[in-house]
Amino acid sequence: MTNAAITGNPLRDPKKIARKYISIAIFAVIVLYIGKIIILDGTDWERLGSVEEVIKTVLFFVPDFAFFPETVVPLLETLLIAFWGTALAVILCLPIAYMAARNVTPFPWITYPLGRCLIVLSRSTHEIIFALIYISALGLGPLPGILALASRSLGFMAKTTSEAIENASPGPIEAMEALGANRFLVFFYGVMPQIFPIFVGNVIFQLDINIRRASILGLVGGGGIGLMFAQVMQNLQYDRAGTIVVGITSMVIIGEFISNRIRARLV
């Protein structure tokens, strides 16, 4: 690649080049070793059989579009779960963003680390884990799914919102403080109007991502299309599973397309 041109360059330090190639070689050896473990040793190739047999299994998944009408209601449920999960996150993210923004946080020594901690916790926990915890407490159904989605998107939304608050112009905030407005008035009339376009963009972005997340919640009992998918997989009705995958994929693609259009117009 470009390296052929670089080695011929007398201005380049040969030591640096040597170090670069050695690190690439070490990385390659590690990857090949892992590849040997996972692909050669970790897979039962005899059970898998020949290429034809694999292709035969793949062909079981060819979608059966006669099944499609039955997936419409679960798909709608998934959309509703995604919508209400996002709506709940919108409400809950404001106080956390308020705590985690350095310039407006009420008690910098307590609320700032608390807000940051909640953001990290929410961002680094998979929605399936949240769903498992809520399901073990509340039982199966869409309600734990909604709560899991809300907990999951909370972190990202609070993070972007608090960054927007930190970047907000201090002028209106100081002007309102000079007039004697209290913290909440300052937040709602001094900060919110400034961050509103960014906030709306993030909400739409999260709604789009949450459709994708909501579709798998059913695998652990969180309602929606995932439940149906888990059932048909268990019954080995692979053609129906194929239909569901096609349905979800098209729904997610349409959602992403709409969300990109709206956000492009907002900015």
Partner 1 sequence: MAAITQQVYVDYREAERRASLIKFVAALLFIAFFFWSIDVLNIPIERVFSMFGRLGHMITERLLPPDMAFVGETRVMDSIIETIQMSILGATIGTLITMPLAWLAAWNVTPSRRFLYPMARAIIVVTRGMPTLMWAMVLVAIFGFGPFAGMLALVKETIGFAGKLMAESVEAIDMKRVEALRATGANEFDVLFFAVIPQVWANWVGIIIYNWDAQLRNSTILGFVGAGGMGLYLREQISILEYHTAMAIIVVIIGLVVISETVSHHLRRRLY
Residues lying near partner 1 in the complex (CB under 8 A): 1-2, 5, 30-31, 34-35, 37-39, 42-44, 47-48, 54, 57-58, 61, 76-77, 80-81, 83-84, 120-121, 124-126, 128-129, 132-134, 136-139, 141-143, 212-213, 215-216, 219-220, 223, 226, 229, 233, 238, 241, 244-245, 248-250, 252-253, 256
Number of CB atoms found within 10 A of residue 142's CB: 20
Amino acid at 206: Q
Please state, in angstroms and rounded to a whole number, the distance separating the CA atoms of residues 7 and 21. Answer: 11
Query: Cβ distance 149 to 223 under 8 Å?
Result: no
Compute the distance between CA of residue 227 and CA of residue 199 in angstroms, rounded to an integer.
32
- Which residues touch 115 (CB under 8 Å, ≥6 apart)? 96, 97, 98, 99, 100, 101, 105, 158, 162
CB of 19 to partner 1, least distance (A): 15
Distance in Å, CB of 60 to partner 1, minimum:
8
In the complex, minimum distance from the CB of residue 220 to partner 1, in angstroms, rounded to a whole number: 8
Comparison of 186 and 241: residue with beta carbon closer to partner 1:
241
- Between CA 9 and CA 219 the distance in angstroms is 56
Please give the Cα distance from 78 to 212 (Å, whole number).
Answer: 9
Q: How far is the CB of 174 from partner 1 (least distance, A)?
A: 31
| Least Cβ distance, residue 180 to partner 1 (angstroms) | 28
In the complex with partner 1, which residue's Cβ is closer, 64 or 256? 256
